Structure 1
Amino acid sequence: MSRCNIFILMIIIPLAFFQSVRGKDCVCDLKNSDPAFPEQKLTKVETISAQCIGSITSERMTDLDRLLLGLQQRIKQLEDNVLMLEKEDDRNLYGAVSVRIIELEFAEIQDLLNKLNMTTNDYHHLNVQTVAQLEDMKDTMAELEKFDNMLVIKKDRENQRVKRDLEQCKNELKVTLPPPTVPPGRCGLGQMVSVVGPRTYSITVYSTSYPYGAWGRDAKPAPGDENKYWLVVLTSSNVYGYYVRQYSTLSTLLLGIGPKDTYISSSNPTTNTIQGSNMVMYANALYYNCYYTYSVCQFNLTTRAVSTVALPSDTGYNSKFPFAHLGTTYSYTDLDFATDESGVYVIYATTSNFGNVVISKIETSNPPVLGQTWKTSLYKTTATNTFMVCGVLYATRYLDKETEQIFYSYDTKTKEERFDLKINIKKMQTNIEFLNYDPRDHLLYVYSDAYILTYEIIFQ
């Protein structure tokens, strides 16, 4: 129910006293130096407010939902009857009766549509009228507030603001359960307590031209490649990439010295093009979302061969279930890839799981195959990124331009879910387009609005 708030005004009237003496009697003249309070305006606002409350009720607001639900059910019934007619029509009495039933259903659907149009028009008129009334009341209350000489309303607003700040502070100080502790037998790490940094913060040789990309180290490098770093920048419409750039050390990457480019294809987009900024390197192979499909691509950097494995057919792709927050959507991030101590995972969402996150282990054979799968209750578009540590999925969300927060976890071993984590990451740029954990150095590798960063995870 929408409510129109009425402020109570405390009016202090400046008075002037004039004293005169008439014989032995003392006579005082009382004069008001301020204009008279427009009581009739306040009464009008109160009346309109009461009418507003009476005209906009929760019962009325559900009329539209009921009509839409009824229309949806009737259309479904009509579809079923038409299918039955097509299947069992004997061109005789049965067909004639079925056609008549369908005609009656058409008439009922038309009646529902007429009611829906009428209700929609009524709501539109009510919305326009209410907006005008609220604007009028707002202007009137601003005029009446001028009579509040003791600033009661202003002080009340300040008090309300202080109360909200105190309540927020109390909520932040409330003790929450600690993040899940990874059993030592699994990878020897304890509870994640914080993320510090950035330890690395630099622009790439591409400057700020391309805000979407990814970078990091091979989570399972070949002997002699332990110090190599890879970089992929989406140089085509911030959506596609078609080559991997490698550097011998972190210093050469930061300075842009001696890169080695390995091309997947000669241009964008093709069947094997990288789509989206989520990808990882594992055992000299790049794992990423194949162009315009719900498939995982495995690109071998030595042989330049591409192998694929398809995800379930109802997997969201092409920005159906991307990472997002209220301010923006990270396009083409339906498939996210992560590495941890045990290998490679793909994180995605399916319609059968209602748009919630699904985790699948990727067996890194050639071609790759999907291993064990876990379904979560985290709606994918409420998160901005995910990563894995010791078999535990973590999800982040956008708090503001300076802060990203790890708020969720799912333990693939115990199937325990947590939505109450509050581990903040200090951002240097507004958006984080790529985030992955490296099990070799326990760092988070981040690509943020064309900048590359690393953060250190602190375990208890």
Structure 2
Amino acid sequence: MLAVVLCLFIISPALAWIPLEDWDSGNVTTSVGESGQCLCHVFLPDTSFPADRVEHMQQVSKDMILEVKIQMNKMVSYEAKLNVYLKELSDLNVRVAMLETSPDKYIKLDFELLRIELREFEALVTQLRESLNSSSPIFDSLYTEIRNMTLIVNQLETYDKSNLDVIRIEFAKLQKKLKDCQEDQEFIQPDIGNCNHTGILKISKPMVVQLNAHLNSGYQYGGWGKDSKPIRGYESMYYYGGYSGAHVYDFYLYSNYDKLILRSEFKRHHIPSAYVGTGNNYIVHGNSIYYQHDVGMCKLNLTSSRYDFRAVSDASGSFSYSYSPNQNLDFAADENGLWVLYASDESRGKMIIAKVDEKSFGIEDKWNTGVYKQLVGNAFMACGIMYATRPVDLNTEEIFYAFDTKTGEEKQLSITFPKFQERYTNLDYNPMDQKLYMYNNGYYVSYNVRFNRG
């Protein structure tokens, strides 16, 4: 009798799709089982794992997570503001309801004014919702309140009433709130990167965060802010440096705003004695810190910790800003790149604007202005225009001068804004959020900038 031998092939399911003709006989082994059956083992290594696609997927996932965080931060900011105006609308709705229940106490009013205000409010809510590209319960509630009030106004218009002075006052308040909201809307929705305007129109009220990270009022010199040209993954990074004198010897880096407030840095750069800086007008731009060393430019790369130095041949150490000594070189950044502001003996103390070539770390162009540096409290660049400030009184600062590097024109201005305290040592514009960052007598202070777009 002939014995029947069964041969069982053991093959990984993930490799079952490989054609038989591609199998290598050298990868096949046979053996006999306990019951005498033939067992065939096939080893098929998989060398076609799509590593490049997985890496691409991981990068896309990181980008999506970053974008979601940005949109979530926008939503929190807008919804907080909308909550305030929703409450104001609710209060006004109550007062209008009181009118409806006691119609005999009021005289006829020009109700068209209220209709106009309500239409403006509705347009504002629409603009906010479109800016977020989404809806929310707050938006829906606002629309409901506006529609209800419009219906009530239409009903009240049919009455012949008396003594509506109180309602006129409420209308005036609503009109002012609408105006303020529209102005705030321009502040909180800056048109980043767009220089299609005629210059700065207004500076917001100051936002004071806290005393410096050292929590010491003696640290009156220093600076803080964000990278004006951040590399990928560091868009939320903040920097800070505070000192008891007009010298620069270390910097602290924080991964985000919350870490700054909690004083929880992720990196500290201690500057060696050979590169200790002077003055306080430094910035972070393109993942490098630019600061003054003697009467020259110093650059510290935050990744490699490499230092570079370039002398500014015509810069003078005799002309500082009015608020503090040794501020001979003032670094600034805007939509057009990196700048350094200073004065020379040849210019007789008048400010010079110099464009810095970031690759060669040298001066590529210069403009002579007509403003004396020693009369200036501080200066900054925005869209290629230098703005100079001076004190008006103990609590008020004024942008009084502007020089446009595109046209060579200079202007006298009077754009006032409040100061938290009298003296400050650092004022810089950041094109990434269109804010001014001020180090004001040891305090973190920031301002929103509104441009005149016609």
Q: Would the TM-score normalized by the shorter structure come out above 0.5? A: yes
Residue 348 of structure 2 corresponds to residue 345 of structure 1: no
Q: Which residue of the partner structure matches residue 237 of structure 2?
A: 228
Residue 424 of structure 2 corresponds to residue 417 of structure 1: no
Within 5 Å, which residues of 2 pair with 1:181-192? Answer: 187-192=195-200
Specify the SS of the correspondent of 2:261: helix
Q: Which amino acid aligns with 2:307?
A: V
Once superposed, which parts of structure 1, at least 4 consecutive aligned residues long, lie more than 6 Å away?
A: none
Q: Deviation of residue 190 (structure 1)?
A: 4.5
Of 387, 390, 405, the residue aligned with 2:380 is 387
Q: Deviation of residue 381 (structure 1)?
A: 0.3
Q: Which residue of the partner structure matches residue 309 of structure 2?
A: 308
Q: Which residue of the partner structure matches residue 366 of structure 2?
A: 373
Q: Cα RMSD between the aligned structures?
A: 1.7
Q: Residue 421 of structure 2 contacts residue 441 of structure 2 at CA under 8 Å; is this kept in 1?
A: yes
Distance 1:302 1:405, change over 3 A: same
Q: Residue 264 of structure 1 contacts residue 299 of structure 1 at CA under 8 Å; is this kept in 2?
A: no
Q: Residue 295 of structure 1 contacts residue 308 of structure 1 at CA under 8 Å; is this kept in 2?
A: yes
1:85-143 Cα deviation digits (max 9, x unpaired): xxxxxxxxxxxxxxxxxxxxxxxxxxxxxxxxxxxxxxxxxxxxxxxxxxxxxxxxxxx
Q: Deviation of residue 322 (structure 1)?
A: 0.6
TM-score by length of 2: 0.55
Within 5 Å, which residues of 2 pair with 1:193-204? Answer: 193-204=201-212
Residue 329 of structure 2 corresponds to residue 322 of structure 1: no
Distance 1:259 1:203, change over 3 A: farther
TM-score by length of 1: 0.55
Give the Cα–Cα distance (whole angstroms) in 2 for the partners of residues 229 and 185 of structure 1: 20
Give the Cα–Cα distance (whole angstroms) in 2 for the partners of residues 195 and 384 of structure 1: 16
Specify the SS of the correspondent of 1:251: helix
1:306-365 Cα deviation digits (max 9, x unpaired): 11111124x212xx10111xxxx4111111111101111110000111110001011112
Within 5 Å, which residues of 2 pair with 1:103-182? Answer: none
Q: Residue 300 of structure 1 contacts residue 306 of structure 1 at CA under 8 Å; is this kept in 2?
A: yes
Q: Which residue of the partner structure matches residue 429 of structure 1?
A: 421
Q: Residue 240 of structure 2 contacts residue 251 of structure 2 at CA under 8 Å; is this kept in 1?
A: yes
1:225-279 Cα deviation digits (max 9, x unpaired): 00000001124xx1222221011111211221244212222xxxx2311211110
Q: Residue 204 of structure 1 contacts residue 254 of structure 1 at CA under 8 Å; is this kept in 2?
A: no
Of 252, 255, 258, the residue aligned with 1:251 is 258
Q: Residue 435 of structure 1 contacts residue 445 of structure 1 at CA under 8 Å; is this kept in 2?
A: yes
Q: Residue 282 of structure 2 contacts residue 290 of structure 2 at CA under 8 Å; is this kept in 1?
A: yes
Of 225, 231, 244, the residue aligned with 1:216 is 225
Specify the SS of the correspondent of 1:429: coil
Q: Deviation of residue 429 (structure 1)?
A: 0.8
Flag structure 1 segments of 5+ consecutive residues without an equivalent.
1-183
Give the Cα–Cα distance (whole angstroms) in 1 for the partners of residues 223 and 195 of structure 2: 26
Q: Deviation of residue 430 (structure 1)?
A: 1.1
Q: Residue 299 of structure 2 contacts residue 307 of structure 2 at CA under 8 Å; is this kept in 1?
A: yes
State the percentage of identical aligned residues: 32
Q: Which residue of the partner structure matches residue 148 of structure 2?
A: none
Give the Cα–Cα distance (whole angstroms) in 2 for the partners of residues 391 and 213 of structure 1: 25
Q: Residue 193 of structure 2 contacts residue 432 of structure 2 at CA under 8 Å; is this kept in 1?
A: no
Give the Cα–Cα distance (whole angstroms) in 2 for the partners of residues 203 and 387 of structure 1: 23
1:401-443 Cα deviation digits (max 9, x unpaired): 1001000000001010112x11111011111210000001000
Specify the SS of the correspondent of 1:254: helix
Residue 329 of structure 2 corresponds to residue 335 of structure 1: yes
Specify the SS of the correspondent of 2:393: coil
Residue 268 of structure 2 corresponds to residue 276 of structure 1: no
